[in-house]
Copies of this chain bind each other. A is one copy, B any other.
Amino acid sequence: MTARHRTVSDDKPLAEGLARQLEQEIIDGVIRPGDELDERRLAERFGVSRTPIREALRRLGVERLIELRPRRSAIVRSLTAQNLAQMFEVLSGLESFAAECAARRMNQQQIEQLRSIHEETAAIVDAGDRDGFDRLNFQFHQAIYRGAGNPYLLEQLEGLRTKLAPYRRWLLRRLDRMRQSHNEHAVILEAIEAGDGARAATEMRRHICDPDRLVDFMMMEQAER
């Protein structure tokens, strides 16, 4: 085939889009754990050359979705319930640490903003607006990240959270945790307002996940299939 060069009128790197698409397919199970990702095959399939495919694979490698082996095809990592639970556990560790820092460092204005997000959420919960809740929920957590006053921590958290976002939404829906989540937010907010770092950390960890229960839940899901 005379494979015309793809005119790049987009302002975004091609590789980024490819990475996202592959990511989605991995998450959706179209590409399954253990499957080999052949660069040439993928290039042909997407109608691009190997170069952007390679970049996309590197990104997925960094995100731990695939495993890059020297001189071997990359393979999709097995994303078992256990793996997911482990990632959530790390997230809980970082989030609770952020909450602890935030409790010590947030100024009055930041606290007020956090409270206003929290109070705005109440109406959303009553209305049962799931998308709205997702949005405000994210804002609540992000306000705490920023309040921790550590840009590197913020980066790490946003990265991990983005990676886990699809699973998180799925879990939240299945567990229908909106109301409980909102109540837990209230406790965390209280600890931050009191400047009680230790308690903020503890409550945040409990809020993000009870890893054991999470694993139990996901195991059940797996058994259902």
Contact = CB atoms under 8 A, between A and B. Distances in A.
Q: Which of A12, A90, A96, A150 has the most CB of B within 10 A?
A: A90
A152 B13 CA distance: 29
A140 interface: no
Contact of A86 (B58, B90, B97, B153): B153
Given A13-B70, A70-B12, A152 B86 contact: yes
Interface string A143-179: 0000000111101100000000000000000000000
A62 interface: yes
B70 A153 contact: no
Contacts of A151: 86
A187 interface: no
Interface of A: 11-13, 51, 55, 58, 62, 64, 70, 83, 86-87, 89-90, 93-94, 96-97, 101, 150-153, 155-156
27 contacts: A11-B70, A12-B70, A13-B70, A51-B51, A55-B58, A62-B62, A64-B155, A86-B150, A86-B151, A86-B152, A86-B153, A87-B152, A89-B101, A89-B150, A90-B94, A90-B97, A90-B150, A90-B152, A90-B156, A93-B93, A93-B94, A93-B97, A93-B153, A94-B94, A94-B97, A96-B97, A97-B97
